[in-house]
Structure formats: structure tokens, C-alpha cells
Amino acid sequence: MKNRKGTTLLPEEVLKIVVAIICIGFLVFLLISIYLSATGDQKKKQAEEIMNSNNGLKAEIERVNAGGAPLEQGKLIPNPSGWYVLSFTNGETKPNKCVEENCICICEAVTFEIFNWQKRQIEKCDDKGSCVVVSNLENFEKIKIEKGGIALSITKVNEEIEIKRK
């Protein structure tokens, strides 16, 4: 094998170049994995806080369920941006956190809804999400938490908790 100057590259030099490229690729993969793991943990903490804090989503649902008036401006969900608010009701397969019960979860959505996407979604909510049991929850479409947050309308209609994007 010859390089641009016309000199020959020895097999040892070619091997060193290949090994160097593989090592650089591995380091890039490792750095990306560490970054994604750190941001995922941070978003899980944000979801737990939004769901379970004293003025969180769970507290607001309990207040409305007890007969309190819905918030006029809606319940603000500021984080984790890019994740979703999901409902699991009735005969659907549900995350382990809410077996046999209706529940609402904040978790990352499965990006490709092809093969067995519902099972993969449940696994994501179990592993890196936050769920709360709401026995009288009405099913709703997934709601994306946009950058800057979203407002949710939480109302009680015919003894069921209804959640919509405001």
C-alpha cells in the first residue's frame, strides 16, 4: 500500500491506524452514553418532583377529586421538557407502578411506534418515569411537555378525572 508521497505503508502502521480509529469511536460512544445517562437521571428527578411534590400533579388531582374547583389557568407542568404525560386506564397493559389501577405517568415517549411499542413505552415509564395511581382517571391522548412547560386542565366530570392540555 502506498501513501500520497509514494512511500509504502507497512502493515504495522495500517494496523495502528485502524486500532486508533476504533479507540476514538469507542471513546465517543462512551462519552455520549455518560451524557445521556446523566440527563435521563435529571429528567427522572424532575418528573418525580412534578408528580409528587406538595403542590404537584398528584396533589392537584386529589384536590379536584375531593370537589375543589379546577385552576383557571391550569396546572403548570414546567419539566421535563420533551417528555410526555400519559394515561394508562381500563384494560390496557400498565406499568408495574400502577398494576390493576388507572394511572397517570410522566415519562419519555417511545420514538418509533412500530413493533410492540406499547410494551416498550411501559418499560420506559417503569424504568425512568414517574407514575401516580388515579382510580377514576379518564383516558386521554399523550401530551408533550414543551420547552417552557405546559398547562393542564384538570376537571372532574361525571365522577371521572379529565385531563386536557389547556
What are the tens digits of pLDDT across the range 101-122?
888 888 887 766 666 667 777 8
Q: Are 76 and 50 in contact (CB under 8 A)?
A: no
State the Cα–Cα distance between residues 23 and 131, nearest whole angstrom: 40
State the Cα–Cα distance between residues 152 and 73, nearest whole angstrom: 8
The overall average pLDDT reported for the chain is 81
The model carries a pTM of 0.68
- Our measurement of the distance from residue 40's CA atom to the centroid of its chain's CA atoms, rounded to an integer in Å, reads 8
Residue 144 lies in a domain: yes
Residue 145 lies in a domain: yes
| End-to-end Cα distance, the chain | 66
- Our measurement of the distance from residue 57's CA atom to the centroid of its chain's CA atoms, rounded to an integer in Å, reads 16
Residue 111 lies in a domain: yes
Q: What is the pLDDT of residue 22?
A: 92
Residue 14 lies in a domain: no
Look at the chain and count its residues. 166
Domain region containing 77: 48-165
Q: b vs e for 6-35, b when ≥16 Cβ sit within 10 Å of the residue's Cβ?
A: eeeeeeeeeeeeeeeeeeeeeeeeeeeeee
Work out how many domains the chain is built from and give that number: 1
Q: Which of 46, 53, 64 is nearest to 137 (CA)?
A: 64
Residue 20 lies in a domain: no
Q: What is the pLDDT of residue 21?
A: 93
Residue 137 lies in a domain: yes
Q: Taking residues 43-59, report their average pLDDT.
A: 81
